[in-house]
Amino acid sequence: MIKVGDTLPAATLMEFSEVEGNGCSIGPNPVDVTKASTGKTIALFGLPGAYTPTCSAKHVPGYVEKAEELKAAGVDEIWCVSVNDAFVMGAWARDQKTGAKVRMLADGSADFAKATGLTLDLTARGMGLRSNRYSMLVKDGKVAALNVEGPGKFEVSDAATLLAQAKG
């Protein structure tokens, strides 16, 4: 499993961006993790799936709510990564009203989750291989803080915990 001090793995995530007003979409577009994280401080959080109860009720809304405080603490971007396709992540972004606050990034084949070692096998529940629930503070492509949840938990990957780490 990835740990503090490690560099994020070379991977490509996908992002679907919607242009408000004219009904046209942009994407999905590839996001090279290495290039996108170089020279930036990123609050990155991973979760098992779009529209799932805890993810929709607590995880994403917490980061949307704390976005300005995270930016004030030196965070350049907030990334939500989930094993879903870019179209689902785009629709979920619209539903969660993430706007320019949180980048909703798709890890459709779980390549990023596998490369970080942060996978969660939910095959028995009909969901296949997913991402574990976690958060990490990334500085210039390197993990500065990592918070991995235990099975079925939501205690350490929340926005308030990562905000405290960004301030520290």
DSSP 125: G
Name which of 31, 38, 113 is nearest 76 in CA terms: 38
The two most distant CA atoms of the chain are separated, in Å, by: 44
Which pairs count as long-range contacts for 98-104, CB under 8 Å and 24+ apart, including other chains?
98/60, 98/64, 101/63, 101/64, 101/67, 102/60, 102/63, 102/64, 102/67, 102/78, 103/15, 103/31, 103/77, 103/78, 103/79, 104/15, 104/16, 104/80
Which one of the listed residues 13, 31, 55, 64 is annotated catalytic? 55
Helix or strand or coil: residue 124? helix
Catalytic (active site) residue 55: yes
Which DSSP letter does residue 49 get?
-
Helix residue ranges, H only, 41-123: 53-54, 60-65, 67-72, 86-96, 111-116
| Catalytic residue list | 55
